[in-house]
């Protein structure tokens, strides 16, 4: 696995609310990132609780490719993923445990774009982010995730 790092962290207080960029987040197994909409049960899909809603990641390289290949400008926070990474292919982490700073995560499945994301941003992100919309992960070990934390295999 390539070593990557966290370059941004985002949370939103409720479904449809703007995301806020933060420098660190407390990750709690079974809950998510403290202060985020899914942690408090106020996310768009909170009525369907699942470990794959605990934390989401997206590669900055995928966001940059949208602009380069499709002419779509999407600020990192607009992707509505919690963690923005650099230098690590997230698709390779499905089914694997990995360390983000002091926190252990397990990649569960790809975070494919959905109609809700398209409605919140622009319709063209739906086809443009297929298979590169990020990763849904479960928090295995509690701790603090910080901007600048390295991503390593367990």
Divide the 154 residues of the chain into consecutive groups of 10 and give the mean pLDDT of each group.
89 92 98 95 80 94 91 88 97 97 97 75 74 94 98 93
pLDDT value of position 114: 72
Domain that holds residue 55: 4-153
Give the pairing type, strands 55-59 and 83-86: parallel
Q: Do the Cβ atoms of 147 and 4 come closer than 8 Å?
A: no
pLDDT value of position 45: 72
pLDDT value of position 127: 72
Residue 139: CATH number of its domain: 2.40.33.20
Single pTM value for the model: 0.92
pLDDT value of position 2: 66
Number of domains in the chain: 1
How far apart are the C-alpha atoms of 126 and 8, rounded to whole Å?
22
Helix, strand or coil, per DSSP, at residue 51: helix
pLDDT value of position 111: 87
20, containing H or E segment: strand 19-22
Q: For tokens 């992960």, name the residue.
A: 137
């Amino acid at each position: 696995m390539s070593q990557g790092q966290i370059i941004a962290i985002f949370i939103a207080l409720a479904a449809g609310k703007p995301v806020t960029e933060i420098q660190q987040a407390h990750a709690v197994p079974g809950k998510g990132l403290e202060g985020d909409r899914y942690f408090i049960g106020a996310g768009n899909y909170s009525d369907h609780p699942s470990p794959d809603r605990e934390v989401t990641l997206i590669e900055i390289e995928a966001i940059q490719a949208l602009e380069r290949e499709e002419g779509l400008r999407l600020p990192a926070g607009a992707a509505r993923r919690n963690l923005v990474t650099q230098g690590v292919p997230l698709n390779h982490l499905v089914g694997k445990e990995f360390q983000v700073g002091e926190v252990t995560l397990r990649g569960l499945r790809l975070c494919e774009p959905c109609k809700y994301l398209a409605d919140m941003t622009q319709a063209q992100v739906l086809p443009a982010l297929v298979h590169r919309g990020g990763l849904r992960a479960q928090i295995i070990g509690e701790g603090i995730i910080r901007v600048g934390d390295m991503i390593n295999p367990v």
